[in-house]
Amino acid sequence: MSERIRVGLVGIGNCFSGLIQGIEYYRTNPDQQVIGIIHPKLAGYGIHDIDFVCGFDVGENKVGRTINEAIYAYPNMVNWIDADAMPKTDALVYESPALDGVGIWVANRIKPVQSGKTNEQLRDEILHILRETSTEIIVSYLPVGSDEATKFWAQICLDANVAFVNCIPSFIASDDAWAAKFRERNIPVIGDDIKGQVGATIVHRTLARLCNDRGTKITRTYQINVGGNTDFLNMKEQERLVSKKISKTESVQSQLDERLDDDDIYVGPSDFIPFLGNTKLMFMRIEGRQWANIPYNMEVRLDVDDKANSAGIVIDAVRLAKIALNRGVGGPIISASAYLMKHPIQQMSDPQARTACEEFVNI
């Protein structure tokens, strides 16, 4: 398919760095199977049909640089492709309003640009940039807890008639009021809070569903996550974690026929360990009862690269958003959100959601 997918990026951090470097990896290694996406082609779109036409960030060391330069700027730490080997692009990173996007724990690592522009001035500039670059889809990877910033970008998408993929747990696609706005404007939105390819929550919910389907009764469970990048540093600020814990907990609870009491389930980020870098460690435990009320338990330790874990999911979200645009389908894309996100407006089991996605593509 000759038509390109024109994407704008919000929050040029490690996740987008891994996404862009991964695409380049597959471009320079064409014999490698593309791992981590639903299918190599969705309605004719492959991973190399995506153009990143603009980016937005608050960091003074990223704003004004090209995207291929900004993805290597501090505090980003993804370095799968040498910076000198990354193809050059004319697409620039522009200033975004900080709002609540810079938490107290990362303030010494991210220095916001001081342009003196008001949020209203930045809004007008952003709308102009989106028009000039013919951006079709905005993908937001703002830091966890950026609720006001996420609302700002959701409104930008509504004003610019641009599809929105919300990768963080600030609820837009799953919020009835925001969902109605996107539905009324017939603009696709996919969200909220991206699931990793084989991440902590997808593993936890899959095993919880297995225990449920096999007829056992889960009595207690926890999931603890630690990591060493700015994502985990930001989440040391407990006030920014409210929606994250809701998102992760509901993702697991949704797979159980009988909900656990709040005191019997804990799912959430736990701490920042600097030397782990982009490595994320998950420790999970499920306790339950079997036949004759006999107890059982299981424990899982998962060790993953946190950024490789989400990149392919974003590729699928972008392609599904483009398909929705082509078909004139607006509002929350139910199947895509259920399959790709932790906190969709409608939860499904993962096999059901995958089937629904494929049916959506093949309509």
CATH number of 200-305: 3.30.360.10
The pLDDT of residue 256 = 94
Q: What is the pLDDT of residues 123-172, one digit of tens each?
A: 999 999 999 999 999 999 999 999 999 999 999 999 999 999 999 999 99
Q: Among the listed ranges 5-9, 238-242, 256-260, which one has the minimum average pLDDT value? A: 238-242
The pLDDT of residue 60 = 95
Instruction: Give the DSSP per-residue string, 177-214.
Output: HHHHHHHHHT-EEE-SSBPPTT-HHHHHHHHHHHHHHT
Amino acid identity at 116? G
SS3 82: coil
The pLDDT of residue 202 = 93
State in Å, rounded, how far the first CA of the chain is from the last one: 18
Residue boundaries of the structural domains of the chain? 5-195+308-362, 200-305
Nearest CA among 57, 5, 343 for reference residue 175: 343
* pLDDT at residue 293 greater than cutoff 60: yes
The pLDDT of residue 265 = 97
The pLDDT of residue 270 = 80
Give percent of the chain with pLDDT exceeding 70: 99
* pLDDT at residue 21 greater than cutoff 60: yes
The answer to whether 86 and 21 have CB atoms below 8 angstroms apart is yes
* pLDDT at residue 237 greater than cutoff 70: yes
Residue 352: how many other CB atoms lie within 10 Å:
13
Find the DSSP H helices in the chain: 14-28, 67-70, 119-132, 147-160, 176-185, 200-213, 230-234, 242-253, 308-327, 334-340, 350-362
* pLDDT at residue 1 greater than cutoff 80: no
The answer to whether 306 and 287 have CB atoms below 8 angstroms apart is no
* pLDDT at residue 298 greater than cutoff 70: yes
Burial zone of 51 (CB within 10 Å; 0-12 exposed, 13-18 middle, 19+ buried): middle
Q: Read off φ and ψ for residue 54, nearest 5 degrees.
A: -165, 155
Q: What is the mean pLDDT of residues 182-207?
A: 95
The pLDDT of residue 2 = 47
149-172: buried (b, 16+ CB within 10 Å) or exposed (e) per residue?
Answer: bbbbbbebbbebebbbbbbbbbbb
How sure is the predictor about 238, in pLDDT bands with cuts at 50, 70 and 90? confident
**Superfamily the domain 5-195+308-362 falls into:** NAD(P)-binding Rossmann-like Domain (3.40.50.720)
Give the pTM. Answer: 0.93
The pLDDT of residue 108 = 84
The pLDDT of residue 241 = 86
Q: What is the mean pLDDT of residues 272-296?
A: 96
How sure is the predictor about 268, in pLDDT bands with cuts at 50, 70 and 90? confident
